Chain A
Amino acid sequence: MDWKALSIALGSMAGIGAVLGIVLAWGSKRFFVKVDERVEQVEAILPGVNCGACGFPGCSGYAEAIVTSEATMTLCSPGGAECAHDIARIMGAEVEAVEPKYALTACQGGNVPNRFDYSGVHDCRAAVVPGMGGGIKHCTYGCIGYGTCARACPFGAITMNDKQMPVIDEEKCTGCGRCVEVCPRDLNRIDRESRTVFVLCTSHDKGAVTNKICDHGCIACKKCEQECPFDAIHVIDNLAVIDYEKCKLCGKCVDVCPKGVIVNLRKERRARKQARETAAKEATT
C-alpha cells in the first residue's frame, strides 16, 4: 500500500476539516442571533398545520406574535383549549377556557333538480365565474357540490356524500375556517359548540320557487317567526334569520319548520361533549 499517498489524503482531509470547523465555530459565535426561546416552545405546542385561523402568517408567525407583541393566546382554533392552556403556562399567564368551534354548512342539498349539464373544472369557485352558469342546480344560493371545501380542509374533516353535499365530521373539525374562505356561496360558518340552533338555508328565492325546487329550503312561511317566544327569528327577504342576541336556543322553531330547514344540534353535541370529558378524566386518572 502506498502509505505516502494515503497520508497525504488523510492529512489534507483532516486539515480542511479543522479549518472549516474553526471558521464555523467562529461564525456561529460572531453571527449569533438571540431568539426568545419561548417562541420555539410556543411553536412546538401549536399544531403546525398553518391553517391561518389565527390571522397570522402560519404557526411560527403566531408564536412570534404571542411572545413579542402579546397577541391573544386563544386564537388557535385547531389547538383548542388545551393548546391555549399550554401556551399560557409558558407565557406565565392565565387564559379563560376556550370553547371549541365547529364549521357548519348552511345548506342541506334537498334534491334540487339540475338546470343544465356541466363539463369543466370541478371546483365550486370555477362554477361561479361569470358565464359558467353558476352551478348546475336550480337553487343559485345553495351548495354547488364540487367539494372545494373538502379539498381545502387541512384536517380531512369534510367529505362529500353521495348527494355531492359536504358532511362535516365534528370530531376532526377544529373550526379553522379554511372552508369558510373558499366557499364561493359563503355557506360555511364557524360557530361555538354551545350554539346549536341554525337555519340551514341561504336562499332568498321566493317561497313558491324554493318550495318547487328544494325539499329543505326556507319557503318564508313565517311559522318560526310566530312560534318564537323571544322574537328572535324573523323572515327577512324570504329567509328565516336567527337573532342570536335574543335566541335562547329553545328549539321551538325547529319543531314547527315544515321543511326541516332549522336544526338543533344539542343532543349530538352534548353526547360528544360528555364523551370527551369522560375521556379526559380517564386520561388524568
Chain B
Amino acid sequence: MAKQFVITPSPHLKTKEDIGAIMRAVCLALAPAFIFALYRFGYWSIAVTAIAVVTAVVTEAICQRLRHVPYTVDDYSAVVTGLLLAAVLPPNVAWYVPFVGSIVAIGIAKHCFGGLGCNIWNPALMGRAFLQAAFPTEINSGTWPAAKGESLLTSIYTNINGSFDFLVESAKQVGADVITSATPLEQLTRVVDVAGKVEIPGAIYVQNGVIQVSNSQIFDVFMGNTFGCIGEISALALLLGGIYLLGKKIITWHIPFAYIATVALLGWILPAPYSNGEATAYTAWFTGPWLMHVVGGGLFIGAFFMATDMVTSPMSRLGKLLFGCGCGLLTIVIRIYGGYPEGVCYSILLMNTVVPMIDCWTRPRVYGTAKASCPKH
C-alpha cells in the first residue's frame, strides 16, 4: 500500500495563537492584579477567585454535557470568565456569592445563548449584574480588611471619608481589624461642600463649586492603596496587564483608548451634583476630577479586560472606537448622575447590546466597490 498523504484545504499554515493561547494570555495579564489582591486583602480574596474559577469551569463542562456539544473547557475561556467575575467582587464576600455568580455567568449568560462566540453579553459582567441584584448587601458591604493581609472580622472601624492611610491609621488606633468605608468613587458621588474646613486628611470635598481631590489621593488609588473589588484596586497592576495584552496583540488599542479617553474628557467637562448643606448644587463645567475617574473604580479592568472581550465587542476598528466611546459616555453618566457610584459594569453590558448594530454600521467598504451596505439578514 502506497503512502497516504493528507489532503486539507488551504492555507496550510495556521497561526499558533488559537483560542486557548489567547485566553491563557489574558489569564497571565490578570496575574499582577490578583497577586496584588493577595498582598492587599489576604488569602480569602484568592479563595473567592478560586471558587469563581472552579465553579465556572465545572459549570461549563456540565452545560456542554447537557447540550451534547464537545467539551471545550481546555480553551480557558471559562477560567477567564471566573477570574474576571472574581475581580469585580469585594474581597470579603461569602463563598456562595462567587459560586452563584459563576453559575449565572457561564450557565445563563454564556450557554443559554449558545456558548463561546454566541453570547451577547460579557458573561462575567452578567454574573456581576445578577449578584448586584441578588445580593446587594454582600456586594456593597463596604467593609475592608484594615491591616494588609488581615481579614478576620473582629471589630469594625467606620468612617466614610478619608484617605487610605488615614483610615488604616485610625483603625489601628482604635484596635479595629475591619474598616467600613466608601470606595473613592462612592466618596466622589457623596461629596459635600465643607466650606473650606477639612477635618479628615485626604477627604474628597467641594470648595467654590469645584471638587477637590489631592494628587496623593489619586496616586494612592492608582497604586492600589485604596478600597475596592479584588481585581480592581490597583490600576497600575491592571495597566501592566493591559500593556502586556497590547504588546502581544491580543487586544488592539482602540477600545481601551476610546473608553479611557472618553471617561477622562467627560469626567473633566461635566458638572457633578453635590450637597451644599441645604440643596443639591452643581460643580462648574470643565473642572471635574478626571484623573480620579480614570484611575478609580473598575475603569482599567473594564477598559482592558471586559470591554475588549472579543465575543461581545465589535469586529472592525472603527466599530471598536465607537464602542469604547459609548462605554465611556455611559460610564461617566452613571457615575456622575446615576444611582450607582460605579458605571463600568452596566455601561459595558448596555454597549454589548448594541454591538450588532455597530457592526452593521461599520462594515468595511469592500475592495473595488463604492460603499458598504448592511445586508438584510
* Residues of A near any B CB (own CB < 8 A): 113-121, 126, 131-133, 136
Tell me, in angstroms, the Cα distance from A11 to B327 when the chains sit together. Answer: 42
A257 CB, nearest partner CB in chain B, Å: 29
B contact residues around A119 at 8 Å (CB): 6-8
> Which listed residue (A117, A120, A121, A131) contacts B4, Cβ 8 A?
A117
On chain B, the residues within 8 Å of A115 by CB distance are 4
Given B1, B7, B10, which contacts A118 in the complex, CB threshold below 8 Å? B7
Check if B4 sits within 8 Å of A116, measured CB to CB: yes
Mind listing 25 A-B residue pairs with CB under 8 Å? A113-B1, A115-B4, A116-B4, A116-B5, A116-B6, A116-B7, A117-B4, A117-B6, A118-B6, A118-B7, A118-B8, A119-B6, A119-B7, A119-B8, A120-B7, A120-B8, A120-B9, A121-B9, A126-B9, A131-B9, A131-B10, A132-B7, A132-B9, A133-B7, A136-B7
Which residues of A are found within 8 Å of B7, using beta-carbon distances?
Answer: 116-120, 132-133, 136
List 7 A-B pairs, minimum CB-CB distance, nearest first.
A133-B7, A117-B6, A120-B9, A119-B8, A116-B7, A116-B4, A118-B7
Complex CA–CA separation, A117 to B1 (angstroms)? 14
- Tell me the smallest distance from the CB of A114 to a CB of chain B, in Å: 7
Contacts beyond the supplied A118-B8, A132-B7: 10 A-B pairs with Cβ under 8 Å: A115-B4, A116-B6, A116-B7, A117-B5, A117-B6, A118-B6, A118-B7, A119-B7, A120-B7, A133-B7
B contacts with A: majority SS: loop
Q: Give the complex CA separation of A93 and B5 in angstroms.
A: 62
Across the two chains, which residue of chain B brings its CB closest to A133? B7
Q: Which residue of A lies closest to B5 (CB)?
A: A116
Query: Which of B1, B9, B10 has the most chain A CB atoms inside 10 A of its CB?
Result: B9
Alpha-carbon separation in the docked complex, A144 to B8 (Å): 15
- Distance in angstroms from B61 CB to nearest chain A CB is 25
Question: Using Cβ atoms and an 8 Å threshold, which residues of chain A touch B9?
Answer: 120-121, 126, 131-132
Closest A residue to B8 using CB positions: A119
Cβ contacts under 8 Å, B6 to chain A: 116-119
B residues near A131, Cβ cutoff 8 Å = 9-10
Residues in B whose Cβ lies below 8 Å from that of A116: 4-7
A114 touches B8 (CB 8 A): no
Chain A, residue nearest B4 (CB): A116
Complex-state Cα separation, A118 to B9, whole angstroms: 9
Shortest B12–chain A CB gap in Å is: 11
Q: Identify the interface centre among B1, B7, B8: most chain A CB within 10 Å of its CB.
A: B7
Q: Distance (Å) between the CB of B258 and the closest chain A CB?
A: 37
Nearest chain A CB to B311 CB, angstrom units = 23
* Distance in angstroms between the alpha carbons of A121 and B9 in the assembled complex: 9
CA A121 to CA B4, docked complex, whole Å: 19
Residues of chain A contacted by B10 (CB below 8 angstroms): 131
Determine the chain B residues whose CB is within 8 A of the CB of A136 once the complex forms: 7
Bound Cα distance A114, B4 (Å)? 8
Nearest chain A CB to B17's CB is how many angstroms away? 20
Give the complex CA separation of A113 and B6 in angstroms.
15
- Considering the complex, give the chain B residue whose CB is closest to the CB of A115: B4
User: Mask for B1-44, Cβ within 8 A of A = 1, else 0?
Assistant: 10011111110000000000000000000000000000000000
Min C-beta distance of B338 to chain A, whole Å: 29
User: What chain A residues lie within 8 Å of B1 (beta carbons)?
Assistant: 113
Residue of A nearest to B1 (CB): A113
Identity of the chain A residue whose Cβ is nearest the Cβ of B7 in the assembled complex: A133
**Nearest chain B residue, comparing its CB with the CB of A119:** B8
- Give the CA-CA distance A58 to B8 in the complex, in Å: 37
In the assembled complex, the CB of B31 is this many whole angstroms from the nearest CB of chain A, namely 36
Nearest CB in chain A: distance from B5 CB, A: 5
Docked Cα-Cα span, A131 to B11, in Å, equals 12
**CB-CB nearest in chain B for A127:** B7
Bound: A126/B8 CA distance, A: 11
Instruction: Give the chain B neighbours of A126 by CB distance below 8 A.
Output: 9
CA distance A120 to B14 in the complex (A): 14
Q: How far is B182's CA from A95's CA once the two chains are assembled, in angstroms?
A: 84
A276 nearest CB across to chain B (Å): 35
**Least CB distance, A1 to chain B, in whole angstroms:** 29
A126 to B4, CA, bound (A): 20
Q: Which residues of A contact B5 (CB under 8 A)?
A: 116-117
Complex Cα distance A5/B10, Å? 71
Bound CA–CA A118/B6 (angstroms):
6
Cα–Cα distance between A136 and B7 once the two chains are bound (Å): 9
Most buried by B among A115, A121, A126: A115
A118 surroundings in chain B (CB, below 8 A): 6-8
Shortest beta-carbon distance, B1 to chain A, in Å? Answer: 8
Q: List residues of chain B with CB within 8 A of the CB of A113.
A: 1
In whole angstroms, what is the CA distance A113 to B4 when docked? 11
A213 to chain B, nearest CB (A): 12
Nearest residue, chain A, Cβ from B10: A131
User: Contacts of A121 on B, CB cut-off 8 Å?
Assistant: 9
Nearest CB in chain B: distance from A158 CB, A:
21
Complex-state Cα separation, A226 to B7, whole angstroms: 43
Shortest Cβ distance from B9 into A: residue = A120
CB distance from A139 to the nearest CB of B (A): 16
Could you tell me the distance in whole angstroms from the C-beta of A129 to the nearest C-beta in chain B? 8
Chain B residues 194 to 243 lying within 8 A of chain A, measured CB to CB, are none
Shortest Cβ distance from A120 into B: residue: B9
Interchain nearest-CB distance for A132 vs B (Å): 6
